[in-house]
Amino acid sequence: MHQERTAAQTGVVVAVRGSVVDMRFDGALPAIHSLLRAGEGGRVAIEALAQRDARHVRGIALSPTQGLARGMPVEDTGGPLQAPVGNAILSRMFDVFGTTIDSGPALHGVQWRSVHRQPPPLVRRSTRSEVFETGIKAIDVLTPLERGGKAGLFGGAGVGKTVLLTEMIHNMIGHQAGVSIFCGIGERSREGEELFREMKAAGVLPHMVMIFAQMNEPPGARFRVGHAALTMAEYFRDDEHRDVLLLIDNIFRFIQAGSEVSGLMGQMPSRLGYQPTMGTELAALEERIANTDSGAITAIQAVYVPADDFTDPAAVHTFSHLSASIVLSRQRASEGLFPAIDPLQSSSKMITPGIVGERHYTLAQAIRRTLAQYAELKDIIAMLGLEQLSPEDRKVVARARRLERFLTQPFFTTEQFTGLAGKLVSLKDALDGCERILGDEFKDLPESALYMIGAVDEATAKAKAKAMRDARPQPTREQAHAVDDA
């Protein structure tokens, strides 16, 4: 097909309206999703989305249409938009066309595959529900992720969303021999550049691929970049049999780009101005994220909720695909409790006795109950003071405050800023620590001993070290002045 290109596969531009281009072909029409090239040197890429009649095709431009005019020739490439796959794409940064944008050397030794691929068939899907351990206590204990599942990460600016994503990439690569793919949909150019530098500094870039469609790019590019990222992820899952961690920021911008494309194509909008095909388009992307007999793609997606309205169609359709929701709290971030995960608002479908086991389920419920009781008592403490609580309520507050501090954790990716060595905590150690705190084993230790540690046994050593420092004789004022003068 590619070699037998004829004059019939060359058409002309008949209309340009923003990103929408109408073209006339006198021979056979290009197939839907075909990639067409127009303009000087074929610089304008257009994806065919509708055959309007026997001669005319309407497409959406994936690159800017400046300079495109009626009468210009259009060439049918004979195939759809393709993405590069192979080990050579690791540590590189791409745009939607598979072109490197990191100023690195030319790309060699890659295959090119269509971005339009079918989800794995039902017979190949794994029906086992397995927990995907991240090594982060607050997630593994209270909102465990599903291997091959999809988790939504809800957070505003400055609450530690990128740090949390970076740490998950670090843990995935260092301890699970996996691959991470970061897909930026409608990202600011500054965010993409910062993330690239952070990943390089953290040493996780050699096992990672980054692909961006920035917010100044046409809606067609933002709409297709998620499909290109999934094509790369499917290669590592199906051909290399490796687990893939796919990070998407932001899934709402994918829906938003689809809405723009739909409006430009002249489709009648549905409720609240969204495209009538939103459910189908989102499912076509999300259903490719799956756990199969050869490996798993586990997705963590940042989700923006318009005006905090969880009944918005974009939020409702996204929620139906998620197996876990992690909510980051600005209040917890302001208290220095990092990762700033809100344990009462976050949830996971994996927290059932049949999947995580009876002990884990019971402990998670007890932790939530303790933290919820503490949240209710905060108003009383603020008005009347801790002394006015009953002895039993004081115990609940002490347990809750120790649990909050134990669920903090120093990250590998922030070592250079905090001076604290990163900790990877196994699920067993995390559960043991929570169980012992709930059993009042550490009631005599100061709360600060449990802050920013790994396993709970570190608290005793930390408390001893602090006691020894406090027991050292402090220099008198005269001695301190003598040292300053010297």
Catalytic (active site) residue 167: no
Q: Which of 146, 167, 187, 260 is catalytic?
A: 187
Collapsing DSSP to helix, strand or coil, 154 comes out as: strand
Q: Give the separation between CA 169 and CA 177, rounded to whole angstroms.
A: 11
Residues 6+ away with beta carbon under 8 Å from 170: 202, 204, 411, 412, 413, 422
Q: Which of 188, 197, 369, 378 is catalytic?
A: 188
Q: Is the dihedral of CA 427, 432, 435, 437 positive or negative?
A: negative
Burial class of 342 by CB neighbour count within 10 A (0 to 12, 13 to 18, 19+): buried
Q: Are strands 179-187 and 208-214 parallel, antiparallel or unpaired?
A: parallel
Q: Which regions of 221-260 does DSSP assign to beta strands (E)?
A: 244-249
Decide if 237 contacts 294 (C-beta within 8 A): yes
Q: Which of 92, 113, 147, 161 is catalytic?
A: 161
Catalytic (active site) residue 187: yes
Collapsing DSSP to helix, strand or coil, 439 comes out as: coil
Catalytic (active site) residue 188: yes
Please name the residue that has the structure tokens 């499912």: 283
Instruction: For residue 405, give Cα distances in angstroms to 353, 361, 409, 437.
Output: 26, 21, 9, 11
DSSP 100: B
For residue 389, give both structure tokens.
Answer: 């609580």
Decide if 286 contacts 300 (C-beta within 8 A): no
Give the active site residues.
161, 187-188
